Amino acid sequence: MAKKKKSTGGAAAPKIQGYIAGAGEVVEEKIAHTLQENFMPYAMSIILSRAIPEIDGFKPSHRKLLYTMYKMGLLGSTRTKSANIVGQTMKLNPHGDAAIYDTMVRLSRGYEALLHPFVDSKGNFGKSYSRDMAWAASRYTEAKLDPICAELFGDIDKDTVDFVDNYDNTLKEPSLLPAAFPSVLVNANTGIAVGMASSICSFNLEEVCRTTIGLLKDPDFDITSTLLAPDFIGGAQIIYDKQVIENVYRTGRGSIRMRGRYTYDQYANCIDILSIPQTTTSEAIIEKVIDLVKQGKIREISDIRDETGIDGLKITIDLKRQTNPEKLMQKLYKMTPLEDSFSCNFNVLIAGTPKVLGVRELLNEWSAFRIECVKRRTYFDLHKKKDRLHLLRGLEKILLDIDKAIRIIRQTEEESQVVPNLMEGFEIDNIQAEYVAEIKLRHLNREYILKHTADIQQLEKDIAELESILGSSKKIKAIIIRELENIIKKYGQPRKSMIIYADTIEEEDIEEDVPDYPVNLFFTKEGYFKRITPLSLRMGGEQKLKEGDSILEHIETTANTDLIFFSDRQQAYKAKGSQFADTKASTLGEYIPAKLGFDEEENAVYMVATKDYHGFVFFFFENGKAAKVPLEVYATKTNRKKLTGAYSDKDSLAAILFVENDETEILLRSSSGRQLLIKAGDLLTKTSRTTQGVAVMKLKKGHRVISAEVYTEGTFQKPDRYRAKNLPSMGQTPSAEEAGEQMSFLPDV
């Protein structure tokens, strides 16, 4: 809050020429009051009058421009200079010629931003997919309305929509356009207001109209059966995820993934990119690729250039010899804007109130709007026909005695008495008498009158039909359906964006050229991981561990290996060895649950390191069962890092072991003190990760399996004593001498 600062002038100040009372005075005012009085009206103006489209699919700037062109007679074959259109539009839109011309450019066919452009342009209007291809000045280009605009203005002169005054109250303009199709979904529309935004993706005209027809016939119509997915003018591929699409249709919010389309020329050894996502430009893609090449992250490209021409967008990428084009494109999709997302926010003004609507609700709102337009048009036609019928009824009475009408007019001394005398002579009202009195003398013949009165019967039928339409919502909907079907026939076109299903895309991890060298991997009971080089391990001291922690696994391998961490929640988390930095024995290492994003209170219990996914993972459960699962079932083609259902949850887990061949022996121990030796090959392999396994160790009541480990030669003096002849087996209790040697291996029970 500012303090008052009195000016040197005041009530007693001398009257000097040019003096302004109160000049220089600082007045205290609360910030909340200032915001309410100044900023809030501005925010409302932006929301209602600038940035958010209405149910007809247009913002005020679009509507003012198109209506001006309509009134200029540009819905035909004649074009006019864009500068002329801009000047005329300023009578409705006083925001300046540059803003108006920019609006017209974005609605034009030449700019290629809309599936169904509303402005038929001639000249250089730039391109939506290029940042550097600027449009020519308005004095050089020409434009007219595209034929599809006939569906926007078809009934505008029949009182279908309200008209309001322009900014200086000298002209009238429509508050909405009576669009005969749901243009709000047919063409993309984005805008940023104060505190809210709108972002509506475009859909195929035929699909939108078919869906609207389905909803008019059945409110519970399945919209996904006809409205397949968004459709973009650039023709980018839509990555179809059913759950995402249904969420967008239901809530009006979501993110649609799309990627560019390409072809590979094997003779020229180059990739031609022919379409890109709607959200980016060709320059942005080329600059990103060049940057990646300079950084050494992409080595397969020898040259990239923009070959966009008269045939449309084209980015050519020359490849080095023996480059796999598909793998390169996978990299480019991941690392450049060639794959991007369109964020949907279906925010539309409904009766002056911004609302975020799903597709069903949006089409229902448009249907209600269009029903009202058809009703108003029908009432307008009905009123006109009734007026016409009323006049013809009066003319019909004249037909009975034309000579009498002429006599009345000739014998009337004053002109002002002609109408009253006709009213009295033929028992007609003032409107009918005025109509008869204005008939030319040459038309007072039987042929003229019979010709006009013959329309009475047709008018009566038309009036009855119009009244029945007004009284039946079913007939009104039938009219709208018929109009939509005609629009499909006239303007429907095939989809430009190809749909590809998300589950058919093989997404591979981008493997950078990381040097491969020997390393030692350590995994602890508490879930800590270390990667140490042999040299560092030899020079280092003791392993630093948390109090109470111990090393569970020590694996000698190389840096570029795959790691699988199993958790106590039946989940597996995958990582690359190259994701971890080399460290020293004197550090705790990295905490795996935090590094890989484990769920809350989820712990890592075992680690597998592999390069070829050969071998088996054994899961031993406390109930004596064991599951043998091939490691290859944990190899994924996509870049998934988290695998749910990594093993069975039917009983508590006792141990996990990774075994590379079937000759390996495994030692099981139970809480009763019994021990059992089994060979890995004795168990059948199960291809399902969640298999419950088979019984391998018989247990006494109240006891359980407590551990499993790879058998080390020499642990037992007589190992054959513990080897099972048949499974399941109870195992053997160690002798006193063997038991003494193994006490350190037994966990607390």
**Distant-in-sequence, close-in-space partners of 133: CB < 8 Å, separation ≥ 6:** 126, 127, 308
Phi first, then psi: what are they for 318, rounded to 5°? Answer: -85, 135
* Strands of 80-81's sheet in order across: 80-81, 142-145, 119-122
Integer angstrom CA distances of residue 12 from 7, 16, 26, 280, 679 = 12, 12, 18, 66, 111
Amino acid identity at 255 = S
Residue 303: φ, ψ to 5°: -165, 150
Q: Which residues are paired to 172 by β-bridges?
A: 165
For residue 676, give both structure tokens. Answer: 């059992």
Q: Are 695 and 722 in contact (CB under 8 A)?
A: no
Contact 381, 470 (CB under 8 A): no
* Beta strands in 324-364, from DSSP E residues, in sequence order: 339-345, 347-350, 353-356
Q: Judge contact between 594 and 644, C-beta under 8 A.
A: no
Position of tokens 């209405």?
A: 54
Six token digits for residue 275: 């379409």
Q: Give the relative orientation of helices 402-411 and 359-400 as an angle to the nearest 10 degrees.
A: 80
Q: Return the exposure string of 244-278: e unless at least 16 CB atoms fall within 10 Å of the residue's CB, then b.
A: bbebbbebbebebbbbbbbeeeeeebbbbbbbbbb
Q: Which two tokens stand for residue 1?
A: 């809050």
CA distance 105 to 127: 9
Tokens of 319: 């490849």
In 77-196, which residue ranges form alpha helices assigned H by DSSP? 82-89, 97-106, 150-153, 183-186
Which residues make Cβ contacts (< 8 Å) with residue 196, sequence separation at least 6? 47, 52, 347, 354
Give the start-end residues of each E strand in 228-300.
237-240, 253-259, 261-265, 270-275
Return the closest-CA partner of residue 278 out of 348, 227, 339.
339
List the Cα angle 229/233/239 in 5-degree steps.
Answer: 35
Catalogue the active-site residues: 140
For residue 143, give Cα distances in angstroms to 62, 86, 121, 443.
15, 11, 4, 45
- Beta-carbon count within 10 A of 238 CB: 24
How many CB atoms within 10 Å of residue 325? 18
58 within 8 A of 207, measured Cβ to Cβ: no
Contacts of residue 477, defined as CB under 8 A and 6 or more positions apart, other chains included, come to 216, 217, 367, 371
Q: Enumerate helices (H) and strands (E) in the chain, giving the number of each.
A: 21, 32
